């Protein structure tokens, strides 16, 4: 789905310009997105399988929820919106914990250059996975995986990211789990 997004500079600051997501990808303009990692107290992470007709990484396993930050939208409100749209989970702002911002660049083809700053959040899943409702146009499947999958993402055909990114998320979620007595 195409949407209007804010254009950023190479340092991740707002330029005051907006464009449609498709134009930003075509021209390789910097922009922002959110990554929301949803996990359980049992040390599992929710992963979504990207729809098979996506223009980038169709059928790959991915972060619990990801999406572009709309023009004029905050990262937090975007995270709430994307979580609700993609997996049907209505989270309050206090359930979303901002962790860090990272940058990735990936050339998918001659007409799709992705230069994204990702605002990364954690959220605890406090209901059964069966309560989640996937957005059919975006998500093929939703499953719980052992957190350790983030240490070897190639095992399950995850979207390629820097391994340091997955290890950082693994560490942050591990530190958020209840301490065993």
pLDDT in tens, 126-169: 999 999 999 999 999 999 999 999 999 989 999 988 899 999 99
Q: Return the minimum-mean-pLDDT range out of 57-61, 111-115, 147-151, 154-158.
A: 111-115
Give 3-state DSSP helix, strand, coil % of the chain, rounded to 5: 25, 40, 35
- pLDDT category at 40 given cuts 50, 70, 90 is very high
Q: Which long-range contacts (CB under 8 A, 24 or more apart) does 163-171 make?
A: 165/102, 165/104, 168/100, 169/37, 169/99, 169/120
**How are beta strands 30-39 and 112-124 bridged, if at all?**
parallel
Tell the CATH superfamily of the 4-176 domain: Nucleoside Triphosphate Pyrophosphohydrolase (3.90.79.10)
User: What residue spans define the domains of the chain?
Assistant: 4-176
- Reported as a single tens digit per residue, the pLDDT across 8-34 is 999 999 999 999 999 999 999 999 999
């Amino acid at each position: 789905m195409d949407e209007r997004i804010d254009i950023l500079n190479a340092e991740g600051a707002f330029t005051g310009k907006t464009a449609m997501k498709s134009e930003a990808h075509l021209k390789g303009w910097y922009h922002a997105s959110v990554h929301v990692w949803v996990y359980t107290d049992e040390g599992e992470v929710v992963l979504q399988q990207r729809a098979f007709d996506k223009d980038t990484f169709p059928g790959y396993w991915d972060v619990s929820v990801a999406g572009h930050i709309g023009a004029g939208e905050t990262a937090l409100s975007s995270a709430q919106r994307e979580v609700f749209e993609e997996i049907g989970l209505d989270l309050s702002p206090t359930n979303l914990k901002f962790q860090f911002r990272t940058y990735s660049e990936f050339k998918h083809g001659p007409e799709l250059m992705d230069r994204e700053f990702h605002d990364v959040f954690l959220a605890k899943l406090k209901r059964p996975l069966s309560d989640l409702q996937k957005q059919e146009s975006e998500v093929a499947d939703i499953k719980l995986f052992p957190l350790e999958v983030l240490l070897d993402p190639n095992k399950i055909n995850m979207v390629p990211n820097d391994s340091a990114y997955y290890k950082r998320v693994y560490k942050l979620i591990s530190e958020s789990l209840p301490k065993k007595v």
